[in-house]
A and B are shown apart, each in its own frame.
Chain A
Amino acid sequence: MEHEAMKAKIDEIIARHSESKPIVAILQDIQEEYRYLPKEALLYLADAIDVSIAKIYSVATFYENFSLEPKGKYVIKICDGTACHVRKSIPILNALRNKLGLSDSKKTTDDQLFTVETVSCLGACGLAPVMTVNDKVYPAMTPESATALLDELK
């Protein structure tokens, strides 16, 4: 039943796009819907737009922004671009990981609430160090303000 709902959703997403069926744009919409790219969704998409699943997987793994793993309700991105890095973004990352029990290989909490990852630049260097939570920008963070934000979100 859940699978049928997913098929309907993907049909709807495909219908939003032009006849040329742009893979990247469709994948972005699928990710927006599910917060990641579920395997079943990609398999269904391949058949629906008549593109090999290997090609879709190729596109999905090429872009860092696409995730094949389920993400938490709150996706926290800590900028580790040059400006943020020199203004101490790594201690913020470590503080969040420590508090949530996450690491470089384990990015999402077991309760599916938080995902913590780094990005190479958010383009807001003047506000460094920056992080985003579900695309909302939080400027000039410290380890303390970041962990405090976690409590707020919970």
Chain B
Amino acid sequence: MNTIKQRTMTVNGMPVLIEGEKNLLELIRKAGFDMPTLCYHSKLSTYGACRMCVVEDKKGEIMASCSTPPRAGMEIKTNTPRLREYRKMILELMLADHNRDCITCEKRNNCQLKELAERFGIDDVRFETYSLDGTKDHSSPAIIRHPDKCILCGDCVRVCDEIQRVGAIDFVHRGSRMEVMPAFNMPLAETKCVNCGQCAAVCPTGAITIKSNIAELWEMLADDNTIVQAQIAPAVRVALGDEFNFEKGENVMGKMVAALRMLGFDDVYDTSTAADLTVIEESKEFIERYSSGENLPLFTSCCPAWFRYAENYHPELMDNISSCKSPMEMFGAVLKEKAKKDAEETKSKKKTKVVAIMPCTAKKSEVLQERYHYEGEPAVDLSITTQELATMIRETGLNFADLQPEPIDMPFGIASGAGVIFGVTGGVTEAVIRHVVGPEDRNTLAEIAFTGVRGLEGVKEVKLPFGADKEISIAIVSGLRNAEELIQAIKKGEAHYDFVEVMACKGGCIAGAGQPFVEDRARAERSEGMYEADRMSNVRTSKSNPITDALYRTMLSGHNAHRLLHYK
């Protein structure tokens, strides 16, 4: 057995126990020193390019702590005069090739480069600025590229390839001419980009940002001849608070509803209500396919980045993907149908616009897709992110923390807990299981929760007894590379599933790129917030939601359910 001495090293003279850290950086951070980094993400491969995390050993050798494994007996320092000088020089060189319009930059509040320049007191850049040409790529409905702000850390390249397996962008050229861009410098909209926005979520600067629809929305809200209806996605409620100093994962739904009314929305609804419709429709579809054995496994369709990925890479699977619209689009169609009927009754000339508040950037592309249109017009007119909503709340001058919580509007004022948990990986599956398995009693619900549907792992498997002697085999994946590996396993016959839930963002919508960018996206806390909202709801299954019940007897009767809720 190793003695303690064989397992320790020193950091700034302090002994630290080595407990399986994969690199010095993690060990140093464990010891309480916040090492600066610009290109390091623990979930991605180590690149070692930014050199901000350099340390010095007792021989005076300098190494990047992110790419050096800890060894017993090592003695390193993290803050010597030489290291300070190195870091300042590196930052100064990065800034020399960086657009420094910080005040008007989208990332002004959370730019890691700006933060480090402040922390290391960079007051002056002595070098000539070069290679800035002002180009911006606005072609994508969700993502903006601004190469003049790129520091070549490659985080976006790695997340796009390693986590999402899309590889829409990569390094091009080399040396001083190196840039990150799509192949042939083609507009991002023409690549296989799925608009998941994870590149923007990891970008330390403003080189990749999310397109804002705030200006259009203000105009819409200011128009007296337009009724503006909001629908709030499940995952938004446990993340918006991050922008206003709430505890991570705290559910701020009530305050958000109040804020939306003060911004000028006429009606405020919860997308979870429509998620209940999705559960009912998708369960029906699943049971039909399961009984006939056709087009199995059934893949979920509610994640637009996954849907786009499947279109791009697996056209042969499109028959396996559920024909259900996403909850957002289902709700859009239902709201537009209701608005049309109401206008006919009251002879009102007012237009109705539906705005979705989403954790997601790919929804900005989804709202434009014709297959989801309602009578030739978008069912959802705009999709804004959690971060955009926070900006609007601040712009209005509301003190969010002091707002009195308010409930969502009737006649869609109830959502089941099953609808709410759509926001976390495994949530759709759990909601569908509740619907398929049946009785709403506490024990059954608890049993379902323990089948393995919960948890933030990228791949989960669940087997569920069905009927007298059958079994439903389910897979739940988040991260598109995980999805691809699962698809390959299915094709090779190594795995068999009846139902597959796919979410492009790791952890599900709670970690969407529209959410505030906090450490590890607060996945654990946001997930807990979702399940707590479920526990606290008095309706736990989609079929016991009186709203959906009423809808199926009226607006969604007969073939109307298919007309409004399915895209094909």
A-side residues, CB < 8 A to B, are: 39, 42, 46, 51-58, 61-62
Taking the nearest CB of chain B, how far is it from the CB of A36, in angstroms?
14
Question: A39-B184, A57-B183 known; A52 and B161 CB under 8 Å?
Answer: yes
A58's contact among B166, B171, B192, by CB below 8 Å, is which? Answer: B171
Main secondary structure of the interface of A (DSSP, over half): helix
- Contact indicator B171/A52 (Cβ below 8 Å): no
Interface flag for B174 (CB, 8 Å): yes
Q: Tell which of B171, B182, B183 touches A42, judged by Cβ atoms closer than 8 Å.
A: B183
Q: How large is the interface on B (under 10, 10 to 19, 20 to 34, 35 or more residues)?
A: 10 to 19
B183 touches A62 (CB 8 A): no
Bound complex: CA A56 to CA B174 (Å): 14
Q: Is the CB of B173 within 8 A of A52?
A: no
Binding site for A on B (CB under 8 A): 161, 166-174, 181-184, 191-192
Closest 7 interchain pairs by CB?
A52-B167, A57-B183, A54-B170, A58-B170, A53-B183, A54-B183, A61-B173
In the bound assembly, the distance between CA atoms of A4 and B201 in angstroms comes to 41
Instruction: From the candidates B167, B173, B181, name the one contacting A55 in the complex (CB within 8 A).
Output: B167
Q: Which residues of A contact B171 (CB under 8 A)?
A: 58, 62
Chain A CB count within 10 A is highest, among B161, B171, B181, B182, for B171
A-B contact pairs, 7 of them (CB 8 A): A42-B183, A51-B167, A52-B170, A52-B192, A53-B167, A61-B172, A61-B174
Residues of B within 8 A of A42 (CB): 183
Interface centre among A39, A54, A61, A62 (most CB of B within 10 A): A54
Q: Give me 8 other A-B pairs in contact (C-beta within 8 A), A54-B182, A55-B161, A62-B171 excluded.
A: A39-B184, A42-B183, A51-B167, A52-B161, A52-B183, A52-B192, A58-B172, A62-B174
Residue pair B170, A55 in contact (C-beta under 8 Å)? yes
Known: A39-B184, A42-B183. A57 touches B174 (CB 8 A): no
CB distance from A77 to the nearest CB of B (A): 20
Partner among A39, A54, A58, A62 whose Cβ is within 8 Å of the Cβ of B191: A54
Check A57/B167 contact, CB under 8 A, given A39-B184, A42-B183, A52-B161: no
B183 touches A56 (CB 8 A): yes
Q: How far is the CA of A54 from the CA of B184 in the complex (A)?
A: 8
Q: Which residues of A contact B182 (CB under 8 A)?
A: 54
Indicate the member of B166, B169, B183, B184 with the most A CB atoms within 10 Å: B183
Bound: A100/B191 CA distance, A:
38
**Residues from chain B with Cβ under 8 Å of A53 in the complex:** 167, 183, 191
Q: Is the CB of B174 within 8 A of A54?
A: no
Q: Which residues of A contact B184 (CB under 8 A)?
A: 39, 57
Give bound CA distance, A51 to B174, whole Å.
20
Q: Which residues of A contact B168 (CB under 8 A)?
A: 52, 54
Q: Min CB distance, B210 to chain A, in Å? A: 20
Chain B residues positioned under 8 Å from A62 (CB to CB):
171, 173-174
Residues of B within 8 A of A58 (CB): 170-172, 183
The residues of A that contact B173 with a CB separation of less than 8 Å are 61-62
Residue in A closest to B169 when the chains form the complex, CB atoms: A54
Bound: A56/B173 CA distance, A: 12
